Structure 1
Amino acid sequence: MSLKAVLFDMDGVIVDTEPLHRKAYFKTFNQLGIDVSEELYTSFTGASTKRVCDTLIERFVLSETYEEIAAIKRAHFKDYFYNDAEFDLISGVRELIQHYYENGITLILASSATMVTINMVFEKFGLEKYFSGKISGADLKESKPHPEIFIKAAEMAVQPLENCMVIEDSTNGILAAHRANIFCAAYKSFHTHNQDYDLANIVVSDYSELEVDKISKFF
């Protein structure tokens, strides 16, 4: 038994797109002429764009359709994605990805984001060559905390589950890895709020702690 594959979550692990979504949403609210409170915005955490738009239409009696609001938000998000100077990879993650790649470890991306967003991130930051495969939870029947995405990622890596490790940052993702019976490293950053790490096998706040020689004792 040894570490042969690492299954990466994306948001909160490789990049943090939450601030971009936030800016894009508030710019959209502004354009629609509605005043969304911090409390209401917080209640949208983890919700799909459709659910957010439907809530806004109902709450503020808007004449715009879900598609129209989603298109406005998407345009703002894209603009921030390519032009926001603060948007970058999470500290230390590029070095970790390169480290695994150089050590012959198979890398698979297993994210709830849409494939469009995944491809945008990979293209912007030049990550394509390091990864053997990508899975979008948006294309699956079940979503995290269901283990389907990680079981499929391990199959894509062509490795038994005991030779895989998941890197996650959210309660749902950690639970999904646990249910898939895959070793899970939880990444905790100053962006992380109210997540439960109890089921993670190891919790780190610096990616250098996940280098091969430091975690080989677990495998």
Structure 2
Amino acid sequence: MSLKAVLLDMDGVIVDTEPLHRKAYFKTFDQLEVSVSESLYTSFTGASTKRVCETLISEFSLSHNHEDIATIKRAHFKDYFYNDEEFDLIPGVRKLIEHYYENGITLILASSATMTTINMVFEKFGLEKYFSGKISGADLKESKPHPEIFLKSAEIAGKNTENCMVIEDSTNGILAAHRANIFCAAYKSFHTHNQDYSLANIIVSDYSELEVGKISKFF
């Protein structure tokens, strides 16, 4: 048995767009003239833009509809995405992606982000050539922690699940990999808070620990 495919989540694994979303949301709140507390903002974690907008409308009795607010937020996000100098790939991930690619391992992106955001990231950082497929959870019936996204990714890779590895950073993603019965490496960075890694097969804080030679003992 050997490792033949790696299925990567995007946010928190390849890039960290959370600070950009935060800046874009707070700029939107200013524009709407609403004061959102830290605890209310924290409650939005993992929620879709639509749900966040609907919460704002009910919470602050806004006259806007959710599409209007989402449009404002998206415009700010796009601006930060292309112009924020701090925004970059997560340290070590490009080297790891190139390493897998050079070792003939099939790479599939399995992210809950929209395909628009996925394509923006791939274009900005020139990642397209390394990946054999991309799946957006937004296009699927079920979302993580349901295993659908990873089972579909293995299918696209054309590999058996026991020859695949998932790289994830969130409780829901790790649970989805566990339910799909796929070996899961959890990436724990200093950005990561309040996530449960108990179901991950291995936990790393440095991507060099996931190089083929170091993980071959698991496959």
TM over 0.5: same fold? yes
Q: CA deviation at 1:65?
A: 1.1
- Counterpart residue type for residue 43 of structure 1: S
Task: Name 1:85's counterpart in structure 2.
Answer: 85
Q: CA deviation at 1:64?
A: 1.1
- State the Cα RMSD in Å: 0.4
1:90-118 Cα offsets, whole Å, 9 max, x none, are 00000000000000000000000000000
3-state SS, counterpart of residue 77 of structure 2: helix
Task: Name 1:12's counterpart in structure 2.
Answer: 12
3-state SS, counterpart of residue 14 of structure 1: coil
Q: CA deviation at 1:161?
A: 0.5
Task: Name 1:185's counterpart in structure 2.
Answer: 185
Q: Structure 2 CA distance, aligned partners of 1:32 and 1:126?
A: 35
Q: Structure 1 CA distance, aligned partners of 2:55 and 2:176?
A: 28
Q: CA deviation at 1:154?
A: 0.2
1:74-102 Cα offsets, whole Å, 9 max, x none, are 00000000000000000000000000000
3-state SS, counterpart of residue 186 of structure 1: strand
Task: Name 2:68's counterpart in structure 1.
Answer: 68
- TM-score, normalised to structure 1, is 1.00
Task: Name 2:94's counterpart in structure 1.
Answer: 94
Count of paired positions: 219
- Counterpart residue type for residue 161 of structure 1: T
Q: CA deviation at 1:139?
A: 0.3
Q: Structure 1 CA distance, aligned partners of 2:59 and 2:141?
A: 30
Q: Mapping of 1:28-177 within 5 angstroms?
A: 28-177=28-177
1:103-134 Cα offsets, whole Å, 9 max, x none, are 00000000000000000000000000000000
Please say if 1:216 is aligned against 2:194. Answer: no
1:158-203 Cα offsets, whole Å, 9 max, x none, are 0000100000000000000000000000000000000000000000
Q: Structure 2 CA distance, aligned partners of 1:174 and 1:44?
A: 20
Q: Structure 1 CA distance, aligned partners of 2:67 and 2:196?
A: 34
- Counterpart residue type for residue 210 of structure 2: L
Q: Structure 2 CA distance, aligned partners of 1:150 and 1:39?
A: 32
Task: Name 1:201's counterpart in structure 2.
Answer: 201
Q: Structure 1 CA distance, aligned partners of 2:216 and 2:156?
A: 22
Q: Structure 2 CA distance, aligned partners of 1:67 and 1:153?
A: 31
Q: Structure 2 CA distance, aligned partners of 1:136 and 1:52?
A: 20
Percent identical: 86
3-state SS, counterpart of residue 107 of structure 2: strand
3-state SS, counterpart of residue 215 of structure 2: helix
Q: CA deviation at 1:151?
A: 0.3
Structure 1 spans left out of the alignment, 5+ residues: none
3-state SS, counterpart of residue 25 of structure 2: helix
- TM-score, normalised to structure 2, is 1.00
Structure 2 spans left out of the alignment, 5+ residues: none
